[in-house]
């Protein structure tokens, strides 16, 4: 559903980009009737925007000659930061924002002074950002709905598909959204489980904003919660192993979001969840330390396969 206010601003945007535009064109672009277009034009006039029109079948709307929205007052660094930030949306799994990104950049280009427009074009031409191959895309609708629920302290209902592909219906009091480890996570108090839970946003569907409100705990810290809970977020495999590495060295080698580590018997005990074992096994092997696997048995099978592949590679000519 479109917001009428946003439609009014869309009319203004079209008028600023064209010398004139007919009511029929505006109606087709906005998917409304001509009477609704006339209401939008009247609203613009109420806001002090000088819109004129010519009568008749071939009539059109236009802005008063010389009228344009004032240029944005941005420094060169601010314009660069805006452009770079819009491009970075792809890198954090928000490629669904692409149309909005292009629209925002186009609007910036039209209202910025010439020198800053050149800065934007330079950024687009010389800086290319490729999304991480491990980034998991998030739904634009899910991200907006979750953000709105958090901002307005409203409960949120949704269907959730877990790591076993089992779907459950949840109702939560959403506290925060975080982008960690190339994934978007929604954190909140689950009313079904009566406990704090973390949900991968790419597994959320059929969101519904509830009328019920709630009070978010004042002492809630999303960063602290993720640091302690993310390693244990439900995954296909729960890993538990010991590695012959001092805890101080392990803290430098393992990302805190990805694994829970503790000193154990002169080495480090490592626990975490993973959906895929091959990359994890290869990473641990690359450290060249003695490893003791506690769980899961599938990880032992992966190590055997890697050993066989390594032997075949070493014997190849």
Taking the C-alpha atoms of residue 45 and residue 306, their distance in angstroms, rounded to an integer, is 71
- Of 8, 17, 9, 69, the residue nearest 37 (C-alpha): 8
With a cut of 70, say whether residue 252 has pLDDT above it: yes
Taking the C-alpha atoms of residue 235 and residue 231, their distance in angstroms, rounded to an integer, is 9
Bridge partners, residue 208, by sequence: 157
With a cut of 80, say whether residue 113 has pLDDT above it: no
Q: What is the pLDDT of residue 233?
A: 67
Mean pLDDT across 250-268? 84
Report how far Cα 77 is from the mean position of its chain's Cα atoms: 24
* Least-confidence region, from 4-13, 20-29, 98-107, 150-159: 98-107
Per-residue confidence band for 93, with pLDDT thresholds at 50, 70 and 90: low
Q: What is the pLDDT of residue 182?
A: 77
**What domains sit in the chain, N to C, each tagged with a CATH number?**
4-63 (1.10.10.10), 78-126 (no CATH), 140-220 (2.30.30), 237-315 (3.30.70)
* Least-confidence region, from 19-23, 38-42, 128-132, 216-220: 128-132
* Residue 196 CA: distances (Å) to CA of 1, 215, 226: 32, 14, 11
- Judging by beta carbons within 10 Å of its beta carbon (0-12, 13-18, 19+), is residue 130 exposed, middle or buried? exposed
pLDDT digits (tens, 9 = 90+) for 52-91: 887 765 578 888 776 665 555 567 677 777 777 777 776 6
Q: For residue 313, what is the enclosing H or E element?
A: helix 297-315
**Against a cut of 0.85, is the pTM above it?**
no
- Of 14, 45, 110, the residue nearest 71 (C-alpha): 110
Report how far Cα 132 is from the mean position of its chain's Cα atoms: 13
Q: What is the pLDDT of residue 229?
A: 75
Please tell me whether residue 130 adopts helix, strand or coil conformation. coil
With a cut of 70, say whether residue 34 has pLDDT above it: yes
Taking the C-alpha atoms of residue 90 and residue 21, their distance in angstroms, rounded to an integer, is 34
């Amino acid at each position: 559903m479109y917001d009428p206010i946003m439609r009014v601003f869309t009319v203004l945007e079209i008028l600023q980009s064209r010398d004139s535009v007919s009511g029929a064109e505006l109606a087709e672009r906005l998917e409304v009737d001509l009477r609704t277009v006339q209401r939008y034009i009247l609203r613009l006039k109420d806001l002090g925007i000088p819109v004129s029109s010519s009568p008749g079948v071939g009539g059109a709307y236009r802005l008063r000659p010389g009228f344009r929205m004032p240029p944005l007052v941005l420094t060169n660094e601010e314009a660069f930061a805006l452009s770079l930030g819009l491009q970075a949306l792809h890198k954090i799994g928000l490629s669904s924002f692409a149309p909005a990104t292009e629209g925002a950049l186009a609007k910036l280009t039209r209202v910025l002074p010439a020198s800053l427009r050149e800065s934007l074009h330079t950024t687009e031409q010389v800086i290319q950002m490729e999304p991480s191959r491990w980034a998991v895309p998030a739904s634009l609708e899910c991200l907006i709905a979750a953000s709105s629920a958090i901002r307005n302290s409203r409960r949120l209902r949704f269907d959730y598909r877990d790591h076993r592909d089992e779907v459950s219906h949840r109702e939560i009091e959403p506290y925060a959204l975080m982008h960690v480890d190339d994934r978007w996570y929604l954190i909140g108090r689950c009313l079904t489980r009566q406990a704090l839970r973390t949900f991968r946003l790419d597994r959320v569907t059929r969101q519904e904003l509830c009328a019920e409100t709630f009070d978010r705990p004042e002492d809630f810290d999303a960063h602290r919660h993720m640091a302690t809970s993310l390693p244990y977020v439900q995954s296909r495999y729960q890993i538990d192993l010991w590695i012959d590495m001092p805890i101080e060295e392990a803290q430098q080698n393992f990302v805190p979001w990805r694994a829970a580590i503790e000193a154990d018997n002169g080495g480090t005990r490592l626990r975490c969840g993973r959906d895929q074992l091959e990359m994890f096994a290869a990473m641990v092997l690359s450290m060249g330390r003695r490893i003791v696997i506690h769980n899961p048995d599938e990880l032992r099978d992966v190590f055997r396969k890697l050993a066989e592949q390594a032997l075949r590679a070493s014997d190849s000519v």
